[in-house]
């Protein structure tokens, strides 16, 4: 009787279609945790090489906890949402300090770790110790909404409650690890956001969205926060074989990453305005000032669209200041930077 055979259908599909992923071959909660943090807001294809780099560079939680933050941010470079990397570091220190390096396996302990929410704690607990907790991520929301015809917004309080209750009701408590992996994999590979494989779906006879032609309508999500536009004017301030770098502070994007001296504005600065801003920033005029690159296409973040301009500025002598540090050209690639800066550096000739 439906939905009693939900797991039977799901597990059969999973055994036939699951991907061969390294973190699935281990019950070690440390490696499972690494994979889950890396895969937050990240596709498997993009996250896999980062998992391999981190697990090789930091084979134990002790290695990760003892590493300098700059090293972690550099390894994380290009993955985005850098707060995950800082939380990763903080959580590793917590495991060493509070649990003597013995990574917890149970939900009630995992949820205490920095950067570990309900989903991540549930995933680690079920995958590492088969604890009977249901995992609900974006893939699971989509699968459940379509099959069972749930129109409650997934990003509402009521929606979270409703989907979590259904996921727990459906959960095979004797094999929670396989069940959770299977439903997430089904959403990632089969019941995809666009062009799901409905013609070859094992749930077709029972799927509300398929029968009612509501596939594109589900799941329902409340409208996102309005996207903000910001204009970044960067200055490559150089003298001989040195230039200036600045480390970004808290309470903004890219915390802890390095960049060139920067002016942020609500509108694009022309060369005259950019020159004035530079003079105010450093209290002196530049000997050489030229536009190197202007991004016509926005660098898109979750709630922000960034438009960047890069100006090269030649000075007779680099200023001594607490805000900026002098860096030799050959050292720049050792600093963790945003994708925006990294892409610029690939095309810039020192």
The yes-or-no answer on residue 102 being catalytic is no
Neighbours of 70 (CB within 10 A): 15
Structure tokens at 232: 């970044």
| Residues 145/219, Cβ–Cβ less than 8 Å | yes
CA atoms within 13 A on the CB side of 218: 26
For residue 250, the Cα-to-chain-centroid distance in whole angstroms is: 18
Cβ-in-10-Å burial (0-12, 13-18, 19+) of 270 comes to exposed
CA atoms within 13 A on the CB side of 222: 11
Neighbours of 255 (CB within 10 A): 15
| Residues 310/236, Cβ–Cβ less than 8 Å | yes
Structure tokens at 110: 């995992």
Query: Could you say which of 16, 36, 162, 272 is catalytic?
Result: 36
Active centre residues (catalytic)? 36
């Amino acid at each position: 009787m439906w939905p009693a055979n939900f797991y039977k259908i799901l597990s059969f599909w999973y055994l036939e279609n699951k991907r061969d992923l390294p973190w699935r071959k281990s019950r070690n909660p440390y490696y499972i945790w690494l994979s889950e943090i890396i895969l937050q807001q990240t596709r498997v294809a993009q996250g896999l090489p980062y998992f391999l780099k981190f697990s090789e560079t930091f084979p134990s939680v002790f290695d990760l906890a003892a590493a300098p933050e700059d090293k972690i941010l550099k390894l994380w470079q290009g993955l985005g949402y850098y707060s995950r990397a800082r939380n990763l570091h903080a959580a590793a220190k917590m495991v060493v300090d509070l649990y003597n390096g013995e990574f917890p396996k149970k939900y009630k302990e995992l949820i205490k770790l920095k950067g570990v929410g309900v989903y991540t704690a549930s995933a680690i607990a079920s995958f590492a110790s088969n604890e009977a907790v249901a995992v609900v991520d974006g893939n699971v929301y989509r699968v459940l909404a379509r099959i069972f015809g749930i129109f409650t917004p997934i990003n509402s309080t009521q929606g979270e409650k409703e989907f979590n209750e259904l996921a727990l009701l459906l959960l095979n408590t004797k094999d929670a690890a396989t069940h959770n992996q299977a439903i997430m994999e089904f959403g990632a590979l089969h019941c995809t956001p666009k062009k799901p494989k409905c013609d070859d779906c094992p749930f077709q006879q029972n799927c509300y969205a398929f029968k009612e032609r509501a596939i594109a309508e589900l799941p329902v999500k409340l409208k996102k926060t309005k996207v903000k536009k910001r204009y970044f004017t960067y200055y490559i301030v150089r003298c001989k074989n040195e230039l200036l770098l600045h480390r970004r502070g808290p309470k903004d994007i890219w915390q802890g990453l390095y960049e060139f001296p920067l002016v942020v504005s609500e509108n694009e600065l022309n060369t005259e305005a950019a020159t004035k801003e530079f003079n105010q920033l450093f209290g002196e005029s530049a000997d050489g000032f030229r536009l190197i690159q202007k991004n016509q296409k926005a660098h898109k973040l979750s709630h922000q669209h960034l438009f960047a301009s890069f100006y090269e500025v030649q000075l007779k002598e680099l200023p001594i200041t607490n805000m900026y540090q002098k860096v030799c050209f050959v050292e720049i690639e050792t600093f963790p930077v945003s994708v925006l800066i990294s892409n610029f550096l690939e095309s810039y000739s020192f």
